[in-house]
Amino acid sequence: MPQRAGMPTQTRIILGVLLLAALIVPLLGQPYYTKLVSRMAIYAIAALSLDLLVGYAGLVSFGHAAFFGIGVYCAGLLPMVGIDQAWIIVPAAIACAALYGLFSGAVSLRASGLYFIFITLAFAEMMFYVAQGLRMFGGDDGFRLPRPTQLMAGLSLGNPVVLAYTMLVTLVIAIYVARRITGSHFGRVVIAARDNETKLRAIGLSPYPYRLTLYVIASALCAVAGVGFANLVEYASPASMSWVVSGEMLFMVILGSAATVIGPVLGAVVFVGLETVLSSLTEHWLFWLGLILVLRVLLLRHGLYGLLSGRGQR
């Protein structure tokens, strides 16, 4: 997997153009496209959180949607007891996801490779069926959000424009935090454990606590995306914890390029864009998405990020 490197100038320009476009779209007064920008930003945050595990730690998780769903349910359940302020809901979602990440990660990280993948999937399915069993909250059908999350007086995430800008700002913060983490001593230890665990142990460092810490951070970050998603669709259901959602996140990471921070963001933007366009053209849009992923693996060594930086072909 590619190591983190300085971002090429042409990539900075393209990302700047994309960010500028994302900032302009909500001002056009078109709710559909404003919500599309929100959806891209939300999935970009989720994909970025997964990339911390897949790209930098070498841990392919197929249960990341559990943390996404925890964020969704926190945004849906807390307003039922009169709590709709973002300064309570977001920390609550982070805390719940972090605790579940600590518990599930402590067990999952005892395994590696294929076993790790299946254990993370098992933990996600546990949360999925717990949510399905909440009959008082709609069970498998889920429920509508009683009220959108309130940022402050007069500003609600139920407003598409407010949601779009909030998620874009959150994405920028998430990118900054991810780059700081991966560029720190802590991040270098995680990368060293991915590349050669034996050598790391030989110098007296155990990779387990570092991996577990990163797992908890990734879990918490994904829950923030879940809060945004709940306000976008104005609904909470077990579907947000489905293995399909985990697969989509993994698709985004692979499409954009793992271990690059920016790659998963690009992958999320392109994935949501392709999903929107292809689903409007054919009911077999998943086939074409699958074909695109195959072509990416065969032709683009470093995914979309590598393509933009001029080193994408094999």
pLDDT, residue 310, reads 65
- Band (pLDDT 50/70/90 cuts) for residue 1 is very low
pLDDT at 166 over 50: yes
- The DSSP secondary structure of 24-43, one letter per residue, reads HGGGGT-HHHHHHHHHHHHH
pLDDT at 4 over 80: no
pLDDT digits (tens, 9 = 90+) for 199-215: 999 999 999 999 999 99
Q: Higher model confidence: residue 153 or residue 296?
A: 296
- Residues 117-142: what's their mean pLDDT? 94
State how far the Cα of 185 lies from the Cα of 163, in Å rounded to an integer.
Answer: 35
pLDDT, residue 141, reads 93
CATH class of 9-18+31-308: mainly alpha
- Contact between residue 261 and residue 181 where contact means Cβ atoms under 8 Å apart: no
pLDDT digits (tens, 9 = 90+) for 223-281: 999 999 999 999 999 999 999 999 999 999 999 989 888 899 999 999 999 999 999 99
pLDDT digits (tens, 9 = 90+) for 172-198: 999 999 999 999 999 999 999 999 999
Task: Collect contacts of 308-314 with beta carbons under 8 A, ≥24 apart.
Answer: 308/8, 308/10, 308/11, 308/14, 308/266, 309/7, 309/8, 309/10, 309/11, 310/8, 310/10
pLDDT, residue 11, reads 65
Question: How far, CA to CA in Å, does 309 sit from each of 44, 125, 255, 292, 312?
Answer: 19, 38, 15, 20, 7
State how far the Cα of 280 lies from the Cα of 231, in Å rounded to an integer.
Answer: 24
- Band (pLDDT 50/70/90 cuts) for residue 153 is confident
* N-terminal to C-terminal alpha carbon distance within the chain: 14
155-156 and 150-152 beta bridge pairing: antiparallel
Q: CB atoms < 10 A from the CB of 8, how many?
A: 14
Instruction: Domain ranges for the chain, please list them.
Output: 9-18+31-308
For residue 179, the 8-state DSSP code is H
| Closest by CA position to 79, among listed 146, 144, 152, 142 | 146
pLDDT digits (tens, 9 = 90+) for 293-306: 899 888 887 788 88
- Band (pLDDT 50/70/90 cuts) for residue 17 is confident
pLDDT, residue 142, reads 94
Instruction: Give the predicted TM-score (pTM) of the model.
Output: 0.93
Helices (H) then strands (E): counts for the chain:
13, 4
State how far the Cα of 83 lies from the Cα of 139, in Å rounded to an integer.
Answer: 22
pLDDT, residue 13, reads 74
pLDDT digits (tens, 9 = 90+) for 35-92: 999 999 999 999 999 999 999 999 999 999 999 999 999 999 999 999 999 999 999 9
The pLDDT mean for the chain works out to 91
